[in-house]
Amino acid sequence: MDAASVLDLFRSSGALHEGHFRLSSGLHSGAYLQSALVLQHPAHAERLGRALADLVRDARPTVVLSPALGGLIIGHEVGRALGVRAIFAERVDGILTLRRGFSLSAGDRVVVVEDVVTTGLSTRETIACAAAAGATVVAACAIVDRSGNGAGLTVPFHSLAQYVVESYQPDACPLCAAGEPIVKPGSRK
């Protein structure tokens, strides 16, 4: 699946909006991604999962680990395509943790699967979670890489598409300067 087809799938699902947005951080941005809107369609999720699995199969992963909640559906699809377990980590007191009886062992080769990587923070935390359990992280991947540079991860990182969008302080926003009306993502337009 090439990057243009991936972004077209996001657009046609209403998961990628281009315009002028006020993000929850208070920053302004020219685009907004909500991967849940593409992944709500099982056929899309399966297709994206197969494409990501093709990027990491050579690393011979034995298990997929995703951060809840955003990585959960795509992680499950990658696990299905690879024929391996798909487990997830959840925040407990702010720390990504394996719960529900999920376990990793020293022999496990983990691929960390995300929907969208922006700063890479949750990806790094998920890698640390796997390492703390004694497993080896052999790769990480995401449907969309918003960092443009693999977010400085220390393991091989793959994505189906890169999509870098600047965000701006409200008083330095060129879209505001151009008089573009602003909307809050998720609100009705």
Closest CB to Zn ion belongs to which residue?
A: 173
173 binds Zn ion (CB under 5 A): yes
* 175: contact with Zn ion by CB under 5 A: yes
Least gap, CB of 175 to Zn ion (angstroms): 4
Number of chain residues interacting with Zn ion (CB under 5 A): 4
Q: How far is the CB of 18 from Zn ion (least distance, A)?
A: 14
Stretch that binds Zn ion, among 5-13, 124-132, 137-145, 169-177 (CB under 5 A): 169-177
Residues 6+ apart with CB under 8 A from 24: 185
User: Which H or E run contains 37?
Assistant: helix 36-39
Query: Is the Cα dihedral 124, 55, 62, 35 positive or negative?
Result: positive
Query: Which parts of 15-54 interact with Zn ion (CB under 5 A)?
Result: 28
Rounded CA-CA distance 7/183 in Å is: 21
Q: Minimum CB separation from Zn ion for residue 31, in Å?
A: 12
Between 148 and 170, CB nearer to Zn ion: 170
Q: CB of residue 163 vs Zn ion: minimum separation in angstroms?
A: 19
The residue type found at 186 is G
Collapsing DSSP to helix, strand or coil, 152 comes out as: helix
**Contact criterion met (CB below 8 Å) for 16 and 33:** yes
Of 28 and 146, the one with the shorter C-beta distance to Zn ion is 28
Phi, psi (5° rounding) for residue 35?
A: -65, -20
Task: Using the minimum distance from each CB to Zn ion, give the nearer residue, 30 or 156.
Answer: 30
| Run of H or E including 139 | strand 136-145
Q: Would you count residue 113 as binding Zn ion (CB under 5 A)? A: no
Strand ranges (E), 7-48: 16-22, 28-33
| Residues engaged in binding Zn ion (CB under 5 A) | 28, 173, 175-176
